[in-house]
Structure 1
Amino acid sequence: MRKFLLLILLIIVGLAIIAVATGLVPVTQTQEARLPTIEGGQLPAFDVDTPEVEVGTVNKTVEVPVVDVRKGGQ
């Protein structure tokens, strides 16, 4: 029964979204939005000690193994 009610609710919400998106149900903004005014206040302050990281390059010789490839399982 719950699944049926959820399905009906989803169908109704979907139809409402389609009706508004296609202009079948016109939605008109009647008032502009604005942020509330806040007097005073202070942002938080942080003191962060981060570790030092040194980045550099080093030349090294790396030995690569020799691979013998043969055709046909020889």
Structure 2
Amino acid sequence: MSKTTLTAALAAAAALGLAACDVQKTDEGHVALPKYEVTKTQEGRVDLPNYNVKTPDVEVGTTRKQVTVPDVDVHAEKKTIEVPKVTVTPPAEERQANATGKQ
């Protein structure tokens, strides 16, 4: 069960990490496809756009929490177990904009 919990925590952290990315387009893309008749009359050229991606810092760890866990006799008892803890820190520019109230 702890592998399932860890897998779920990592999946959640990955989803949060991707959602908090700061992506800026740095170059326009362009595609010039080759033109064909019976023979090629023009060379093709593909210029893909460039992006700078600043990902957030994501910390995944555990913390101890007391939760109610059923025992074998279906009686609930409190146990302290390791539960996932995820901390997401957005890129520095976003933190600064949030601190000054700009968005």
Scaled by the length of structure 1, the TM-score of the pair is 0.32
Of Structure 1 and Structure 2, the greater strand share is in 2
Structure with greater contact order relative to length (CA < 8 Å, sep ≥ 6)? 2
Scaled by the length of structure 2, the TM-score of the pair is 0.24
Larger radius of gyration: 1
